[in-house]
Every structure is written in C-alpha cells, then in structure tokens.
Structure 1
Amino acid sequence: MRIHLWLWLSLGLGCASARALHPGQVLGADGAAIPGARITVVPRAPSWDVRTDAPVAITASGPEGRFEVASLPPGEYGLSAVTPGGVLIVGESLQVKEGQPVKPLAIREGRDTLGLLEGTVVDEAGVPVPGAKLRIIRQGMPFDDVALMEASPEGRFQVRSGGGAHSVVASAPGFSPVMQRVARTGEPVTVRLERAADETMYRAAVTWMKETGVPLKSVEAGQGLEDLAPLKQVLKDTRVVALGEATHGTREFFQLKHCLLEFLVTELGFTVFALEENFAEGLSFNEYLLEGRGDPKQLLRGSAWDTEELLSLLQWMRRYNEEPAHPKKLKFYGVDMQFSPEAVARVNAYLAKVDAAHGGHVQELLAWLALPKSGFSRLPVERQKEVAARLDLLAERFEAERARYVRQSSEAEWAVARRNVRVLRQFVGKVLQEEEELRDRAMAENLLWILEHEGPDTRAVLWAHNGHVQRGPGEWRDRPMGRHLADALGKSLYVFGMAFHKGEFLAFNMDAQPPPGRKGRVAFSVPPEPEDTLDAALAATGWPLLALDLRALPRRGPAYEWWRRSRRAHDIGFIYSDGGYPSLGQIHALALYDGLLFVERTTAARLNPR
C-alpha cells in the first residue's frame, strides 16, 4: 500500500517555543487514517550520534491516525514513521525557528521501489534476543534518516524502505550496541550482539598494553629510529605493511608514517611506497623520486595530500635515491582509480609512440574520460557503457599487439601503459556501479600488480585510510582493500590501524554555508572520547605515543575477552562539519588490524602555502 504521512505541526499554535503540543496525523494514499504507526523525531544535526544518542521523541498514531509531539526547541528535525504493515516512510525535515509558527509538513512515500530489510538479532551464541531495540538507518549526506522499532519476541525484524544504503543498530540490556551494514535489501542479515565487557576485562586489557606496547619517543623524522627497533622482529616476514589513519588530515599520523617508512626502508629493505592516490598521478611522483623531474610542490597541488608532511616525505625519498650508496631506489605508486585525465594523457602518448594510427581512432573515446570531473558521470548510461566496451577492446589490442608494442618501447613501458588502460576501465566500472565496493577491490588489484611488476622480492608500504586497509568487513565496507590483500597475501600482510584520543585534524567543511574563513579544507577538533571507547583505553596506558602488536595478544583470558569485542573509535575521512559530525565508528580492532599506532593528542596537518 502506498502511504502518505501528513504532519500538521502548527494549526494556530504559535511559535515553536510555545509550551503547546504539536499534533499530526498519519494518512494513507486514499485518505484513510493509519492508526498504530510508530513515529520517530530525531535532530538533523551532524553532531547527533545515531548509535548512542536518544531521539527527541517517539510516539504512535492513535485513532484516526492522530498523534502529538511535545513542543520542540529551535532546530532542524527529521521525522519518520513505520506503519503497522512494516513500511518505513521518511519525508522532509522539520524546521523550527524561534518566534515563527511551524508550517504543516507532508511526508510522502517516494516513488522508489520498496526493498525488504529483514533479519534476526542474536547473541554471541546465536540465540535470538527478544525485543531488542532497533534503529533503521537510511544513509544520507550530511544527515541519515532514522526510524525506531523493536524486534519481535523471536528477535526478528522486517521493514520495507526506499532505495539507498541502509544500516541497522541493535541494542539490548547487558549488551553493547552494534551497527550492522545491510549490503543489499532482500537478503536477510544477522545482527550479533556482544555481552558488555566488565571492569576486570578492561583492567586486564590496559595492563597487557602497558606490558607489551612499544612507547615511542617522537613522531619527528630525523630524531633516530631506535624506539622502533622492537618492531623489526614483528615485521621481518612481511611483504606489505599497510599504514591506516583515523583521519586524512592529522600531522602526527603523517609524521609517524614518515618515520615508519624510513625504518622499513633502512632496516628491512622496503622499496615501494604506495599511496591512496590515482595510479597515473603517482607515476609523476615516481619520476621525481627517480630522476628529479618536476617540482614536488607542484605535483602535490590540488591533491588531497598537499601538506607539508607529505612534501617532507617526498623530499626525503628523493635524497635517499640521490645517495650512490643506495643501489635499490625507492619507488612511488598510486593505487587509486578515480577520475584521472593524467591516465588519459599517458595512454594517448604511449599509443602515439607505438600505434599512432589506432591512437587516432581512440582519441574520441579517451576524450570522454578527460571531461571535467563530473562530466563523464553525467553522460547518458548508453554512452558510458559504450566507453566501457571500447576500453575492453583497447585492452584486448594491447594484449594482441604486445610483442610489437614492446619492440617500439620496452616491456616496462608497455606494462605501465596497459595498467593505465586498466585503471580507466576501473573508473568507468565504478561510475556504472558494475559491482559494490569496486574501488576497494580495484585498489587491491593495483597494489598486487605493483608487487608483480616490481619483482618477487619487492616489499611495499601502503598508506590509506583505516577503512580501506582493514583486513575484514567494517561498518561501511564489507570487502575493503585490506580484505582482498589479506586473501592474496595472508600473514605477509601486516595492517596497522591508527587511533587518537583528542585533538585537531584537517578536513573539508561540509557545511552548506560556512562562516568566513571556514570554507574548504580547515582545522577541526574533537574532545576526549568516553571511557568505553578504544581510544580512551589506549590513552589509559599513559603513553602519548604507542605501537601495539595485536598478534601478540594471548587468545584467552580477560584481556582477550575485552579485545575480542567491538569498540567505538574515531573514524573520520576527508569531510567534517563545524556543527560537529559523528566522529566515532564501531570497529573490531582484533579482526581488522594486526597492530595499532596511537597518538594521544593530535594537531592538524599543515597545508603547503599557495
């Protein structure tokens, strides 16, 4: 049944700050009243944490579908309803302004085909948890749509909702709340709750960290690497060391990665640095490292990594390569496959060299991929699919003409040009949404190609966000890059997650109308997090800088019981908000990482001067 939820929230009751109730009514498409609908009112504010904070109001429609919500303070609110038939309806946000009457609001069901979200809430033994509290979340930017409901006595839930990505947050007395991502509607999910850890487990976990953790003296490069020496035994058999980060704009994270790269290069013979940067753009950085070609400041310009810390790292790598005593030179690679006019330019240049006639035939094809950043995404789907098919044909030609192309260039040049064709195809596949989480699979594929291209003894340092490098499924990704790499590399992959307790970081301000001086990439800060978070537990060691080998944790006892449970921890990407944005994500550190690097207090990365 198509449902309309009509809310009349003024009806002559005056300003929003009055003490009156806001009445509303739930009606069907035919105008019939819908009693028994569950109405949820939540703040539409980035600082509101859907995992833990309480909604503003929960009520139900009574006879004739009518309900009342207590007077609301000024602000923006989201309203949703779950009908007795199990349909989730989300409508326009409610604006409450001081001194102004609240206008009537109609929340109408969209035209999207409704998908079925269903599943069961169970405990760690797989036993259903009756009556668990549920938050059904339809993910959005900058605000999520949220509706509340309860699981059945058998622990089951079922609701129909419109298009888009969804998650389910479940909670019950004695258990820690958990968020479960719904990969696709129509497939039942199991939300597994964990018994909350007790004080004995917490104390044992902190004691274990103090006994086995490696306190670090500094994140500044050039201060010596002696404090990292205990990690040599930990990392001696690894081929790829992945360095995550809880934000993309923390100075100390970048500096610590610089120190670790120096350590891995000088002590363990690592020669490849791979960054969450486009593959083709990475080739220009590599030319600077190997030949001194180009200005690293210009190469960084416009990049998400345009910071003093990355510039310092590049300059150190170049100095290392200039030293005659270092016959094995450091290489720079990007593993990403986003919009890349540089990849188009390099494929065109290569074809002009080895197959000029065919290069002329494909110039129009490649031109579609060099449109301004959102241009290709706005093309008709039929044209996008045509580009995909012709890229497949170009890849086939590269294979068929390999011997001729190599004679006119070299094996290495052919391989790099062929990879540029591949990353262009990856980009088109992402635009066409050919598969879920294609970007992470593609980044893993590109890193594995780099290892093969550089030779069997190559060892690489990978730099990306925590959410990309993690070994297992996380809150927002089922198959991150690290999971693909773990399948291919096993124990020879070592993943460091990075965490912090409080401090500053750089991020793009997502506010629609930021105040003067707060537009673009600016500094934000977050306070210390609650005691039940992973970050607070790491801070309880008393060490401002810490490296922790999670592989060394005994797999029994109270410390293990604490660590094996999921915890909230800082999880911030490229964006944030002056109004505050949920900075905590639910992670299972023991399943996602092999080790942790911790900074108690952070500062914002420093942008290179323009």
Structure 2
Amino acid sequence: MGNLFTKSTYEWIKQVDTSKADLFKQAEESMMKLQDQKTKEDFVQEQVKINETYSTLEHFVEEHRKELATLSPQHEQDVDILLQSLKLRKETLMRYELPNWNVAHNVPIYDVEQHPMVLRDRMMAENLEYLAEEMYPTEKMIVWGHNYHVRKNNSKVKYADYGQNFLNNMGDYLPDSFKKQTYTVGIYAYSGASLDSSDNKTVTPVNKEKDPTSLESLLKYANHSSLFVDLVHTPYNKRTSWIYTPRIALYWGFLKEEMILKEQYDGIIWIERITPAKII
C-alpha cells in the first residue's frame, strides 16, 4: 500500500476510525491511478471525487485532533504535519495533475508557468516557505533534493549542447531574503552509476566523456576520493576563476549543463565514484 507516509498515516487514523483510514487508503490509491484516465472528462470527474475525499479527511483530522495527537510521538506538531500533507495532496491534485496528464497525452501547454515541472517546483518553494516560517520558525532545517531543485537560479543554467536555458526551479521561486539565509550545496560525481528515479530499477552510468575544464574534471586533479569546496568564502583570483565563470557540469551524471557555479551554490560536494542506491 503506497509509500511510508501512506502506510503510517493509515495505521495512525485506523486507531481512531477504521472507516476513515479506509477512506484515506482509497484516496491515495485513486491518486496513484489518476494519470491512467483515458479522456480529460474522465480525469476531471475522478479529480473532483478525490478532492472531496481529501476534504472529508481534513475535516476529520481537525475534529479528532486531540485523539490523533495522543497517538503520535510529537503530538500536536504531527497533526499539523498531517494537515499540511493533506493540503499538499489537494494542491497537487488540483494544480499539478492535469497539466501532467496533458503532457503525457501531447496536449500543448502555451504558458510555461503551467508546465508540470515548473508547477512542481513552485509548490516546493511554497511548502518550504511554510515549513520555515510557520512550522519551524526558530529552527535550522536541512532540505534534501536534487541539484536541479535546490540550486538558487536554475533559470540561468543552460543545456550546454543546445544553448537553451532551464526552466524555473524551487530556488527561482524562493524570495531573495529567504535564499540569503540558506547554504546550498550541489553534489557531483566523476564516475560510477546511479539509480534512475523514474523506476528505481534502471542503472544510469556517469558519462565517461568529460570536458577537461568541467567541474568534475577540475576537481579530479586534486586526487582525492571526495571533496567539499566552499564557494561563499572563496575570493576571486586566477586560481579560483573557474567558480566565477561559465562551467560545464553533468546533470545526473550524463547531461551537460553550463552555469556559473557561484550563482547557483554556496558549496560543492564532489565524489570520485558513486554507486547506485539500494531500495530497502
């Protein structure tokens, strides 16, 4: 039954109301199957039903907040997280899923802001702001994500082979005042392979062909198995000019992208050889 969130939430709600736990399970399963709808009319009809179910669950959680809190390690805070998660389910359902279905069915998207990849990152930014300002306003946070999502100005990054800029990402949608409080780290590898996140089965090797002045090649000269490079406190000079000038780096180890590293990251983690993740 779905992922860890789905399983743990089902068991949590079940302790209070079995029927609502089953309703939650039904909503999660319907959400996973939504992209299988053959027509837009069928899609919208199912979308409305699922949204109503999540609204019912939101109302249930609010009504049974105290009971649910007593059954969870962090009590009230866990209930707040659950409510935010249900809200995100509804926002994903109503803002992201149809554009994603349109792309899968070759329906043209004329407004780039309505592209599912852009919508996804905008929603990431909104959720991160909520977590930082509303849920954890006095605490430091670690946010783990792919380079594409966390770097600060993705729209300035280019596909090296085509000269075309990337779409806006989470970093683009975060206000400058927020980004100034962050320390953003990019992770890159020289060799090895990673697991393709689209199916968690396909092993994708790191491209063996390297531009001699690329990020991966330059850090290879240091002759270490791994490196951390701080970009914030590295002043410009002849030896550090590579940080301040356009540089090739590999997206997911295979796609050449061009960027000024200083505009995107505060630090870089470089690993000489990576191995595919093992799904537990």
TM-score of the superposed pair, with normalisation by structure 2: 0.68
Q: Once the 2 structures are TM-superposed, how far is the Cα of residue 604 of structure 1 from its aligned partner?
A: 1.6
Name the counterpart of 2:250: 570
Name the counterpart of 1:483: 172
Asked if 1:459 corresponds to 2:130, the answer is: no
Q: Once the 2 structures are TM-superposed, how far is the Cα of residue 566 of structure 1 from its aligned partner?
A: 2.1
Q: Once the 2 structures are TM-superposed, how far is the Cα of residue 595 of structure 1 from its aligned partner?
A: 1.0
CA gap 1:522/1:392 in 2 versus in 1, 3 angstroms: closer
Please tell me whether the aligned partners of residues 234 and 240 of structure 2 are also in contact (alpha carbons under 8 angstroms).
Answer: yes
The C-alpha deviation readout for 1:1-28, integer Å capped at 9, x for no partner, is: xxxxxxxxxxxxxxxxxxxxxxxxxxxx
Asked if 1:532 corresponds to 2:213, the answer is: yes
Name the counterpart of 2:263: 591
Alpha-carbon distance in structure 1 between the residues aligned to 2:171 and 2:10:
29
Name the counterpart of 2:29: 370
Asked if 1:551 corresponds to 2:216, the answer is: no
User: 5 Å matches for 1:487-526?
Assistant: 487=176, 489-501=178-190, 503-508=191-196, 520-522=201-203, 524-526=205-207
CA gap 1:460/1:554 in 2 versus in 1, 3 angstroms: same
3-state DSSP of counterpart to 1:494:
coil
Q: Percent identity?
A: 17
User: 5 Å matches for 1:64-463?
Assistant: 281=3, 283=5, 342=6, 346=9, 350=13, 353=16, 359=20, 363=23, 367=26, 369-371=28-30, 373=32, 375-379=33-37, 380-389=39-48, 404-410=63-69, 411-428=76-93, 429-433=95-99, 435-436=114-115, 437-451=118-132, 455-463=136-144
Q: Once the 2 structures are TM-superposed, how far is the Cα of residue 521 of structure 1 from its aligned partner?
A: 3.0
3-state DSSP of counterpart to 2:178:
helix
For the aligned residue pairs, the C-alpha RMSD in angstroms reads: 4.1
Alpha-carbon distance in structure 1 between the residues aligned to 2:260 and 2:41:
42
Amino acid aligned to 2:13: Y
Please tell me whether the aligned partners of residues 534 and 567 of structure 1 are also in contact (alpha carbons under 8 angstroms).
Answer: yes
CA gap 1:426/1:355 in 2 versus in 1, 3 angstroms: same
Structure ID, larger Rg: 1
The C-alpha deviation readout for 1:27-63, integer Å capped at 9, x for no partner, is: xxxxxxxxxxxxxxxxxxxxxxxxxxxxxxxxxxxxx
Alpha-carbon distance in structure 1 between the residues aligned to 2:177 and 2:42:
35
Segments of structure 2 that go 5 or more residues without pairing to the other structure are 70-75, 101-113, 159-164
Alpha-carbon distance in structure 1 between the residues aligned to 2:62 and 2:25:
23
CA gap 1:480/1:347 in 2 versus in 1, 3 angstroms: farther
The C-alpha deviation readout for 1:268-305, integer Å capped at 9, x for no partner, is: xxxxxxxxxxxx9454xxxxxxxxxxxxxxxxxxxxxx
Amino acid aligned to 2:192: E
Alpha-carbon distance in structure 2 between the residues aligned to 1:368 and 1:404:
19
The C-alpha deviation readout for 1:401-456, integer Å capped at 9, x for no partner, is: 77633244333353233223223224423221183322222333334444457533
Name the counterpart of 1:470: 151
Number of residue pairs aligned between Structure 1 and Structure 2: 247
Asked if 1:605 corresponds to 2:270, the answer is: no
Q: Once the 2 structures are TM-superposed, how far is the Cα of residue 593 of structure 1 from its aligned partner?
A: 0.6
Please tell me whether the aligned partners of residues 196 and 202 of structure 2 are also in contact (alpha carbons under 8 angstroms).
Answer: yes
Please tell me whether the aligned partners of residues 34 and 46 of structure 2 are also in contact (alpha carbons under 8 angstroms).
Answer: no
Please tell me whether the aligned partners of residues 189 and 216 of structure 2 are also in contact (alpha carbons under 8 angstroms).
Answer: yes
Q: Once the 2 structures are TM-superposed, how far is the Cα of residue 586 of structure 1 from its aligned partner?
A: 1.9
Q: Once the 2 structures are TM-superposed, how far is the Cα of residue 485 of structure 1 from its aligned partner?
A: 4.3
Alpha-carbon distance in structure 2 between the residues aligned to 1:347 and 1:533:
48
Q: Once the 2 structures are TM-superposed, how far is the Cα of residue 496 of structure 1 from its aligned partner?
A: 0.7
Alpha-carbon distance in structure 1 between the residues aligned to 2:91 and 2:268:
31
3-state DSSP of counterpart to 1:462:
coil
Q: Once the 2 structures are TM-superposed, how far is the Cα of residue 594 of structure 1 from its aligned partner?
A: 0.9
Q: Once the 2 structures are TM-superposed, how far is the Cα of residue 569 of structure 1 from its aligned partner?
A: 1.0
Amino acid aligned to 1:481: M
Please tell me whether the aligned partners of residues 535 and 569 of structure 1 are also in contact (alpha carbons under 8 angstroms).
Answer: yes
Alpha-carbon distance in structure 2 between the residues aligned to 1:372 and 1:458:
33
Please tell me whether the aligned partners of residues 347 and 417 of structure 1 are also in contact (alpha carbons under 8 angstroms).
Answer: no
Q: Once the 2 structures are TM-superposed, how far is the Cα of residue 470 of structure 1 from its aligned partner?
A: 0.7
CA gap 1:466/1:388 in 2 versus in 1, 3 angstroms: same
Alpha-carbon distance in structure 1 between the residues aligned to 2:215 and 2:121:
25
Q: Which has the higher strand share?
A: 1
Please tell me whether the aligned partners of residues 354 and 409 of structure 1 are also in contact (alpha carbons under 8 angstroms).
Answer: no
Name the counterpart of 1:206: none
Q: Once the 2 structures are TM-superposed, how far is the Cα of residue 376 of structure 1 from its aligned partner?
A: 1.2
CA gap 1:455/1:282 in 2 versus in 1, 3 angstroms: farther
CA gap 1:426/1:566 in 2 versus in 1, 3 angstroms: farther
CA gap 1:591/1:525 in 2 versus in 1, 3 angstroms: closer
User: 5 Å matches for 1:53-68?
Assistant: none
TM-score of the superposed pair, with normalisation by structure 1: 0.34
The C-alpha deviation readout for 1:229-276, integer Å capped at 9, x for no partner, is: xxxxxxxxxxxxxxxxxxxxxxxxxxxxxxxxxxxxxxxxxxxxxxxx
The C-alpha deviation readout for 1:304-347, integer Å capped at 9, x for no partner, is: xxxxxxxxxxxxxxxxxxxxxxxxxxxxxxxxxxxxxx27x837
CA gap 1:395/1:606 in 2 versus in 1, 3 angstroms: closer
3-state DSSP of counterpart to 1:493:
coil
Please tell me whether the aligned partners of residues 354 and 408 of structure 1 are also in contact (alpha carbons under 8 angstroms).
Answer: no
Alpha-carbon distance in structure 2 between the residues aligned to 1:607 and 1:355:
34
Please tell me whether the aligned partners of residues 230 and 268 of structure 2 are also in contact (alpha carbons under 8 angstroms).
Answer: yes
Alpha-carbon distance in structure 2 between the residues aligned to 1:282 and 1:588:
38
CA gap 1:382/1:545 in 2 versus in 1, 3 angstroms: same
Please tell me whether the aligned partners of residues 58 and 86 of structure 2 are also in contact (alpha carbons under 8 angstroms).
Answer: no
Amino acid aligned to 2:275: A
